[in-house]
Amino acid sequence: MADEEDECECPACEDGLPPWLATFADLMSLLMCFFVLLLTFSQIDAQRFKAAAGSLSKAFGVQRQVRENFSPMGTSIIAQEFSPGKPEPTPVDEVKQSTTTDAPNLDLRPPVESETVAEKQAENMEKQLKESLKDEIKEGMVEIERKDNNVIIRIKERGSFDSGTADLKASFNPVMKRIIDELVNTPGRIAIAGHTDDIPIATARFRSNWELSAARAVSVVETLTRDGRLRRENMEVKGLADTKPLEPNNSPENRAKNRRVELMVTPFGSSEAGGTAGVKVPGLEESFIGVLR
């Protein structure tokens, strides 16, 4: 009986969890999150994660928008992620499938229409020059030739320059004016090249055929740009001496043919209108004349 009375004297238990359990549960949750983060940081590389995510997105063809009538085209994950899988050399650290929609302008050649326009321009210029300079052509002072989309105006020494000099004759100015009129009608790149024969020259003004050929080309350029209708930045000057003969230098007649100044005109409609290698005209005339005089 005494035992039963003692048991009845115990206080009644309160409802609910004890107060300390909430603090314990919070501590355990925080410890679990802490160790989960440690485990995550030790196993995942952020860069590799981004690369893998990018590979997956590209592999499923979601890296760009495509039209409805084209199926998505993706990148091979094997080729991108493993170096032995690269099918071809590439300057960048990236491998993509070669498709016409991704790179439609790999062929950088100009459209056929541009070449057709340039060819027509060159053909018209050739006809106009031959008609305008028919008398000079008959006299052997000028030659007109067309190569592909280029028109070559060949000024012979006869009638244009005295032997061993680089000054255009005043009587040749009307011929130059007609040439300028045709060049204004069909603008383009103009490469002016002076040529000589193989007989060396050594005078007080010209030390070699290089200087003579360059000075004659500069004289032609000065005449072309005198009235301001032709743009100097579209011209180039070359002095080639006897390096590009038309005929073998084995007779007086052939040497006379090789002494010339050539104007190679490339209309702007041609893919070659970017010009050929040479010395640009702006500022060059003054330097040549200063040295030669």
Strand 235-239: give its sheet, edge to edge. 142-147, 150-156, 260-267, 188-195, 235-239, 279-280
For 79, 139, 154, the CA distances from 264, given in Å and listed in that order, are 50, 21, 9
List, for residues 118-161, the tens digit of each pLDDT value.
Answer: 788 888 889 988 998 898 899 888 999 998 889 999 999 888 99
Residues 6+ positions from 246 with CB-CB distance below 8 Å:
195, 254, 257, 258, 260
Q: What is the mean pLDDT of residues 238-255?
A: 93
Q: What is the token pair recorded at 141? A: 């002072």
Q: What is the mean pLDDT of residues 28-57?
A: 73
List, for residues 17-29, the tens digit of each pLDDT value.
Answer: 788 888 888 889 9
Residues 6+ positions from 250 with CB-CB distance below 8 Å:
none
83: closest CA among 93, 73, 74?
A: 93
List, for residues 87-113, the tens digit of each pLDDT value.
Answer: 555 555 555 555 454 444 445 455 445
pTM over 0.85: no
**In Å, how far from its chain's centre is CA 93?**
23
Q: What is the token pair recorded at 6? A: 């003692």
Rounded CA separation 156/140 (Å): 7
List, for residues 50-62, the tens digit of each pLDDT value.
Answer: 666 665 565 555 5
Domains, the chain, in order of start with CATH, read 18-106 (no CATH), 112-292 (3.30.1330.60)
